[in-house]
Amino acid sequence: MTDLVLTEISNQVLTVRINRPERKNALTHAMYTALGDAIEQASEDTGIRCVLFCGSEDCFTAGNDLGDFASGLKGTFAETPVGRFLFLLANTQKPVVVAVNGPAVGIGTTMLLHCDMVFAGSNARFQMPFASLGLCPEGGSSLLLPSWIGRVRAAELLMLGGAFSADDAYRLGLINRVCDPSDTEAAALDACQKLAGQPPAAIRATKKLLSHPVHEQLTATMLAEGELFAERLKSPEAAEAFSAFMQKRKPDFSDFK
Ligand code: COA
């Protein structure tokens, strides 16, 4: 149990709010467990027709807690709290909508690739700084991103790890709409309520068909990424990146081979 993830059911919509403002909503193992539990609850409860993920008006999530990263991952990737969350998200039959304001770093961006609709505030900043942290892509991003936005654009975002705006994300086809930050959640909730009013079996069939072309390949990719990611977490490059973040300095990779 953690109060860093808040859930609420209203009008058949399960709202899942990431709530750790003092750490920019960075996600700990316990928070991934709570996020995974919420998806499981939605998958099992026929009274829930749609899931809404959100953070606050100025921050979605700073991604994985960097302190937790430094302590590594235990067990096979699918068994880790983050792996379990990603697989539940990728496989749930319920529609998932996201409201993103402010930073959406790392998994804060890659998790969106598994969601059905994404509404972002004009203050949203997406970023996948895996390589910059000595890590590698996760969450199926090495498969989904190049196939959606093209190889060279995916390489730029994943290799250089720069932040991109809500307008950029809209142009790339990664989000549905750019909103005023104070309206993002309302726009996302409106979509949830429309989805909740649709015939549920037809929505399940549509979701399955949309995921079908890459489903098997996605599972294999997520497992391969997870294995490599766990290795990279132990690398000296990652150690340098994490200590640089903690010490509020630029990392120095000049001596690495
Ligand atoms: N893990 C742990 N703590 C984090 C964190 C993370 N991923 N992201 C931010 N924090 C902490 C900061 O260390 C800071 O703590 P402090 O007040 O004790 O110094 C606090 O949250 C506020 O963060 P700060 O960096 O001051 O906020 P900002 O508004 O200037 O920048 C971000 C926000 C998200 C752009 C920036 O915090 C960031 O880049 N975080 C790291 C993101 C990251 O690399 N995630 C992993 C992705 S794979």
Residue 26 CB–ligand 1 contact under 6 Å: yes
Residue 242 CB–ligand 1 contact under 6 Å: no
Does any domain span residue 69?
Answer: yes
Confidence of residue 15 (pLDDT cuts 50, 70, 90): very high
Does any domain span residue 234?
Answer: yes
What's the pLDDT at 38? 98
- What is the chain's mean pLDDT, rounded? 96
Distance CA(83)–CA(140), nearest Å, equals 11
Does any domain span residue 190?
Answer: no
Candidates 130, 135, 128; CA nearest to 113 is: 128
For 160-191, how does the pLDDT look when each residue is reduced to its tens digit (9 = 90+)? 999 999 999 999 999 999 999 999 999 999 99
Virtual torsion, Cα 210, 94, 224, 145, nearest 10 deg? 50
**C-alpha 154 to ligand 1 mean position (Å):** 24
Confidence of residue 2 (pLDDT cuts 50, 70, 90): confident
> In this structure, which residue's CA is closest to atom 42 in ligand 1?
62
What's the pLDDT at 196? 98
Does any domain span residue 186?
Answer: no
> In this structure, which residue's CA is closest to atom 47 in ligand 1?
106
Does any domain span residue 189?
Answer: no
Residue 103 CB–ligand 1 contact under 6 Å: yes
What's the pLDDT at 175? 98
What's the pLDDT at 212? 86
**Within a 10 A sphere around the Cβ of 186, how many other Cβ atoms?**
12
User: In the predicted model, is pLDDT for residue 1 greater than 70?
Assistant: no
Give the mean model confidence (pLDDT) for residues 193-217.
96
Token pair belonging to 92: 């749930």
* Pocket-testing residue among 4, 19, 24, ligand 1, by greatest number of atoms within 8 A of Cβ: 24
Does any domain span residue 191?
Answer: no
CATH of the domain at 246: 3.90.226.10
**C-alpha 253 to ligand 1 mean position (Å):** 21
User: Where would I find the H helices in 57-165?
Assistant: 66-70, 81-91, 107-110, 141-149, 151-155
For 93-125, how does the pLDDT look when each residue is reduced to its tens digit (9 = 90+)? 999 999 999 999 999 999 999 999 999 999 999
Is the full-model pTM beyond 0.85? yes
For residue 126, list its beta bridge partners: 104, 164
Does any domain span residue 250?
Answer: yes
Confidence of residue 213 (pLDDT cuts 50, 70, 90): confident
Give the mean model confidence (pLDDT) for residues 64-87.
92
**C-alpha 229 to ligand 1 mean position (Å):** 20
What's the pLDDT at 40? 98
Residue 232 CB–ligand 1 contact under 6 Å: no
Atom of ligand 1 at shortest range from CA of 135 = 48
What's the pLDDT at 250? 97
Atom of ligand 1 at shortest range from CA of 105 = 47
> In this structure, which residue's CA is closest to atom 1 in ligand 1?
65
Count how many domains the chain has: 1
Does any domain span residue 162?
Answer: yes
**C-alpha 176 to ligand 1 mean position (Å):** 26
> In this structure, which residue's CA is closest to atom 28 in ligand 1?
24
Domain encompassing residue 28 = 1-181+200-257
